[in-house]
Structure 1
Amino acid sequence: MADWDDFRLVRAIAEQGGLTRAADHLGINHSTAFRRLSAIESSIQARLFERHRSGYVPTEAGRAMILAACRMDDTVAQFNRELAGQSSEPAGDVRITAPAGLATGVLMPIFAGFRRRYPRIRLELVLAEESLNLCKDADVAIRASDRPPPNLVGRRLATSNWAIYGTQDYVGRAMADSPWIYPSAAVAGGRFAAFAKSRIAAGNVAISINTVLGLREAIEAGCGIGPLPRWEADTRPNLFRLSENEPELATSLWVLTHAELRHAPRVRALMDVLATEIAAMRPLIEGTDS
């Protein structure tokens, strides 16, 4: 008979694509994971995965066990949300996800002030460009999005405006003939890549990056010109703005949570502070302070 840890292991193998990565994800060693999987298959008298050179592929029995694991995870998440909503004092853990650049450039001073005000709330920060699942992976998300998922609730904080920047060497040069650095098609649905390619002369791609992280550093190092958010670039003395705000790159900045968590004191406290502090920074974020 399989227990909860068995279901977690089988799900991890499927999601991580193999036994070694699943073991690392769960914090156990490979040999332990291998023995446990063998014991599970022996216990239920069914093979859960087909071993291929490309990875572990679930069998019909494996898919059934993975589906059950997902349902169990949903039940646990639901219980935690309901329990959090019953608390009346701001205390406990809040897991927040945000883009890496925004976290280091904008959020850290806000988090410092928040911790001084609410010392019993512990923050766990998950830096990710992609949208994480707010049911399982995070409690609060700060996202740049024009269409937040309908199952989430929150507040629109500001418009994140972008412009083209470069070092002094690129001031006065034709942008189309300059080398460009931009986020690749894997970022933001390819918005940045399409924008850049429509403005670049053939052969003038210097670097494309599969994340926004590192974009400013590459432009600041003189590798080329490229788009940056106003809040990040306008404060850098070595960067020069080469264009006005680019409407095609503007996105709304939101703070979001799951509907069942919005009244939890720890979550409400964080969302209120984020909304207040980021509203005060709106001129910088939107590029209207200069």
Structure 2
Amino acid sequence: MPVVWDEFRLVRAIADRGGLAPAAAHLGINPSTAFRRLAAVEAELGARLFERHRSGYVPTPAGEAMAAAAARMEEEVARFDREVADRAQTPSGLLRVTAAATLVTDLLMPMLGRFRARFRQVQIELITSEEALNLSRRDADVALRATREPPSNLVGRRLGTIAWAVYGPAQGKADDADADWVSPSEAVAGGLFARFVAARAGPERVALRLNSVQGLCEAICEGVGIGPLPCYRGDRIAGLRRLSGPEPELAGTLWLLTHPDLRHAARVRAFMDHVAAEVAPLRPAMEGRAGGRSA
């Protein structure tokens, strides 16, 4: 039977430390276990590996050769580990990213172009979804989400606050007290936007309901009605005007999230660092403050 790697490690530990007890302590085994294993190896090889003296264990020529072989093997293992670690530090491979459609078009897409320019070995699969995909099942590797309460099983970064305000067409009436509204339906964000609109207009004044926030901006621009929009988008469109200040009850938080098992993966870490750096100068616009620039 060939001698296995663990027995090489045992022989080297005994040679380096001069005895069974310190070698066993180093390997995390009992001295009696170390004694039995050494006896079994010597029997298998048909050669004594150590001379037993009162001062300790002294390797024989066969023991020295086996300890030297163990040292070479350990060095090869260490070299392999370094090579794998170096490769792992280079972002590469498939990265699956999910975000809502509005975040993709308004924020994420310009960032993806610049990310790819830096990391040519990373291929991106972008999953546009209004629903929160299950990162634990690896439906995606990274999620860009606007939420007040990110899932507790994910880790990530808080990128900033997303302010919302009421917008109308730039050429609309000066007094919009009796204007029609466009609104996301009750199915969106737990009914947050629908409740906001309902508190300001009766159901007969809601001209259009949408089952997502996608299309809100276009509907307002076309004069269908006034309605809520994220400030980073509404403020940069010449055909719109802001009718209110940021509405605290609509404010959300932008998160970049991943599963704990993926947070140290090079491609995930590189992407999260990149997006965080890109979002930083956009915060004034996201928060509805004058002077913010867009993506």
Q: TM-score, normalised by structure 2?
A: 0.67
For the Cα contact (< 8 Å) 1:145–1:251, is it kept in 2?
yes
Q: Provide the residue aligned with 1:213 in structure 2.
A: 214
Post-superposition offset of 1:170: 3.0
Q: How many residues align?
A: 206
2:134 maps to what in 1?
133
Residue 143 to residue 94, structure 1, CA distance change in 2 (3 Å): same
Unaligned runs of 5+ in 1: 1-82
1:119 is paired with a residue of what secondary structure?
coil
The match for 2:197 is 196
Deviation, 1:288, is 1.2
Q: Which residue of 2 aligns with 1:152?
A: 154
SS at match of 2:135: coil
Q: Measure the CA separation in 1 of the matches of 2:203 and 2:150.
A: 36
CA distance in 1, matches of 2:171, 2:201: 18
For 1:261, the equivalent position in structure 2 comes to: 262
Q: Distance in 1 between matches of 2:165 and 2:173?
A: 14
What's 1:174 paired with?
A: 176
Matching residue of 1:142: 144
CA shift at 1:112, angstroms?
Answer: 0.5
* 1:54-80 CA distance string (max 9 Å, x none): xxxxxxxxxxxxxxxxxxxxxxxxxxx
Whole-angstrom CA distance in 1 between matches of 2:202 and 2:152: 40
Give the aligned CA root-mean-square deviation in angstroms: 1.6
Q: Tell me the CA shift for residue 195 of structure 1.
A: 0.5
2:167 touches 2:244 (CA, 8 Å); kept in 1? yes
Look up the equivalent residue of 2:244 and give its one-letter code: S
Contact conserved, 2:156 with 2:258, CA < 8 A, in 1?
Answer: yes
Q: Quick one: which amino acid aligns to residue 157 of structure 1?
A: L
Q: Is the 8 A contact 1:144 1:252 kept in 2?
A: yes
Partner of 2:74: none
Q: Write the deviation string for residues 196-222 of structure 1: whole angstroms up to 9, x where unpaired.
A: 001003510100000111111111111
Is the 1:98–1:129 contact (alpha carbons within 8 Å) kept by the matching residues of 2?
A: yes
C-alpha contact (below 8 Å) 2:170/2:238 kept by paired residues:
no
- Matched residue type, 2:135: L
- Does structure 2 conserve the Cα–Cα contact (< 8 Å) formed by 1:171 and 1:240? no
CA distance in 1 between counterparts of 2:114 and 2:264 reads 21
Specify the SS of the correspondent of 1:146. coil
CA contact (8 A) 1:180 1:207 kept: yes
Give the CA deviation at 1:169: 4.1
C-alpha offsets along residues 240-261 of structure 1, whole Å, 9 cap, x if unaligned? 1000000010001000000010
Counterparts of 1:157 and 1:174, CA distance in 2: 34
Instruction: In structure 2, give the amino acid aligned to 1:139.
Output: D
Say whether the 8 Å CA contact 1:170–1:225 is kept in structure 2: no
Distance 1:194 1:154 in 2: 30
| Structure 2 residue ranges without an equivalent (≥5) | 1-83
1:30-89 C-alpha deviation (Å, 9 max, x unpaired): xxxxxxxxxxxxxxxxxxxxxxxxxxxxxxxxxxxxxxxxxxxxxxxxxxxxx99x9332
